[in-house]
Amino acid sequence: MNGLLGPTALYVFALRAAAVLLVIPFHEAAHALVSWLLGDPTAKNAGRLSLNPLRHFDWMGTLCMVLGGVGWARPVGIDVRRFRSPKRDMALSAAAGPAANLLLAFVGLILYKYLAVWYYTGGGWAVALDFLSILISLNISLAVFNLLPIPPFDGSRIFLLFLPRRLYFRAMQYERYMMIAVLLLVVFGFLDRPLSFLVDRVWRLLDAATFFAGRIFVS
């Protein structure tokens, strides 16, 4: 109990809670924005085209993300009948959430590197560095988790793009049960190693991308 409620743990929880205020709204608002641009105003009309965290939070999912690093938000409503190409546009709308998180992680990593230079030259910024580290980690974890090709995660909308229409909608009927199964696998640790492996690889790719971006900017 002392470890869970100790100063270090409370410090991490506080920074993670602050990071969640950015991570979840960026993810959900990206879904709403792309679906609106593709012709479906359902999410926009519901107020989900917003970076206000209160419009997106599922409180249990938010608590899980703060305490465990993995959670969920309220689903963004999408009416596929408003899309010109339902399967394609659904896939694009789904991909927008993880893409927004990866973009935020990329920006966070650039800021982290610049602040790290000041920190190691005596400029301070230790709390900001810790916050950015958690922000990057949460964004990458959320993106990787949501790209799992299993309904109802975003990755399934992309994967199902390649299935026949009949199988696509049949698979969507069972997405609630599949989500419960995946969450159980996470709770009991069966997905820890593969998810950690994927998160590490994405982090390295983003790190390399910031290096090349820095080279281009400097030149």
Q: Which residues are catalytic?
A: 28
Residue with tokens 């290096």: 211
* Helix, coil or strand: residue 57: strand
Amino acid identity at 77? G
| Token pair of 66 as six digits | 């703060």
Three-state DSSP class for residue 25: helix
Distance CA 101, CA 153 (A): 14
Beta bridge partners of 73: 57
Rounded alpha-carbon distances, angstroms, from residue 168 to 2, 171, 179: 48, 5, 16
**Rounded to whole angstroms, what are the CA distances from 162 to 8, 95, 154?**
46, 15, 14
Contact 20, 48 (CB under 8 A): no
- Residue 73, helix vs strand vs coil: strand
